[in-house]
Amino acid sequence: MQAISVVEAKRRFSELLRRAAYGNETVLVGSRGRPEVAIVSVEEWERLRAIEDERDARLVEEAIRQGGELYSLGDAVREWMRHHPGESLDCPELEALAGPEPNLPR
């Protein structure tokens, strides 16, 4: 796994994309010696997403087994807005979720 600076990544962008896509290499890009992002192939990204989705599904199953309640994202956004009146999420898409969707029973 190679780690390079942002300046170097800009200069070698096409090469790094080819190495990730066709050479299945991961390249870490950052500044001041600290990685901030990773360039990975689509296959690797899909593999990581599948692992994350699997983990999330297990967490939901466990919450259901323990009798936990599930809420929609819209409910979570409404709850956050209720506790932070006048504040913005700085994300219109999330704020739109707080629309007319009914609350689940608590």
Residue 95 belongs to domain spanning: 70-99
Q: Which of 48-52, 54-58, 89-93 has the highest mean pLDDT?
A: 48-52
Specify the pTM.
0.56
Please name the residue that has the structure tokens 């990685």.
Answer: 35
Q: Let me know if residue 51 belongs to a domain.
A: no
> What is the pLDDT at residue 71?
75
- pLDDT, tens digit, 9 for 90 and up, residues 93-105: 877 877 754 454 5
> What is the pLDDT at residue 101?
45
HSE-CB at 63 with a 13 A cutoff on CA atoms is 10
Q: Following DSSP, what letter does each residue of 23-74 receive, concatenated? A: H---EEEEETTEEEEEE--HHHHHHHHHHHHHHHHHHHHHHHHTT-----HH
- pLDDT, tens digit, 9 for 90 and up, residues 57-88: 888 788 777 876 777 788 888 888 888 888 88
Q: Let me know if residue 35 belongs to a domain.
A: yes
Query: How many independent structural domains does the chain possess?
Result: 2
Q: Let me know if residue 15 belongs to a domain.
A: yes
pLDDT higher than 50, residue 40: yes
CATH classification at residue 33 = 3.40.1620.10
> What is the pLDDT at residue 66?
81
In contact, 44 and 24? CB cutoff 8 Å: yes
3-state DSSP assignment of residue 3: strand
Calpha distance 78→48 (Å, rounded): 30
